[in-house]
Chains A and B, each alone.
Chain A
Amino acid sequence: MDKKKPKKVFVQGAIPPEKIATSVANHQSKTNIGAHSIFLGQIRADEVEGKTVTAIDYTAYEEMAENVFHEIREATFTKFDITCAHVYHSLGKVNVGELCLFVFTSSAHRKIAIEATNFLVEEIKAKVPVFGKEIFEDETHQWKVNK
């Protein structure tokens, strides 16, 4: 439906939980939808050698990342019979417990929406040039690598 419009994915800082509620509300008029599938990435307080992560500072090769996000979204529409797909990713500092990734797909039926969301999340983690500096409580840091 809104397949062709390139959408800006990056938001500065954490994704507010209210954005999820607003996004759901925005789809209540689309009555051909029977299922939404949502993935939310939250910053985890990992422990590394006795130090605890307090935040991740995200940076990106923004021009390339926005293009790759768009390609992944297009591929998702080609592969799955979905009505909508929305992706938001944080840039800058996001504290533990806050949201850094919001992936939202909608379809007539649940299986397609769930599969489409999984596909989007895996593709984003593998292909988008986003970098994360994990900041510890003593202000030291290490660089996050997706597994």
Chain B
Amino acid sequence: MKVTVKYFGLVAEAAAKSEEVMELDETLTASELKVQCLIGLAIADKDSVQIAVNQNLDETITINDGDEVALLPPFAGG
């Protein structure tokens, strides 16, 4: 299955990209996909990164084909 992964803020900086299409050959939860995406990235506090699946921040969600996934560092609005 294919998912679109979007990177933001310090995660985009560490990954040196803002978006990619990933091919997954196993069923993953959002939490598991987050760990996989962050492997090898120079991010001091990986626990502070949230993952949104189709804009939903529930990390127990199972990823489905065609989902839009976003890796979100700590919010800094205002």
- Which single member of B48, B55, B75 contacts A130 (CB below 8 Å)? B75
Among A67, A129, A145: residue with most chain B CB under 10 A = A129
- Residue in chain B with minimal CB distance to A63: B55
* Interface flag for A125 (CB, 8 Å): yes
Instruction: Report the separation of the CA atoms of residues A124 and B73 in the bound assembly, to the nearest whole angstrom.
Output: 15
- The closest CB in chain B to the CB of A122 belongs to B78
Q: Among residues 21 to 78 in chain B, which have CB atoms less than 8 Å away from a CB atom of chain A? A: 48, 52, 55, 70, 72-78
Residue of A nearest to B10 (CB): A143
Number of chain B residues whose Cβ lies closer than 8 Å to a Cβ of chain A: 15
| CB closest residue in chain A, given B9 | A131
A122 to chain B, nearest CB (A): 9
Query: In the complex, how many angstroms separate the beta carbon of B47 from the nearest chain A beta carbon?
Result: 13
Asked whether, in the complex, the Cβ of B78 is within 8 Å of the Cβ of A129, the reply is no
Nearest chain B residue, comparing its CB with the CB of A130:
B77
Are A143 and B73 touching (Cβ within 8 A)? yes
User: Chain B's nearest CB lies how many Å from the CB of A72?
Assistant: 11
Say yes or no: is A144 at the interface (Cβ < 8 Å to chain B).
Answer: yes
A interface list, Cβ under 8 A from B: 41, 58-61, 63-65, 67, 89, 100-101, 121, 124-133, 143-146
New contact pairs (9) apart from A58-B77, A121-B78, A143-B10, CB-CB < 8 Å: A64-B55, A65-B77, A89-B77, A125-B75, A131-B9, A146-B75, A146-B76, A146-B77, A146-B78
Q: Which 8 pairs of residues, A with B, have the shortest CB-CB distance?
A: A131-B9, A130-B77, A132-B76, A144-B76, A64-B55, A145-B74, A143-B10, A101-B78
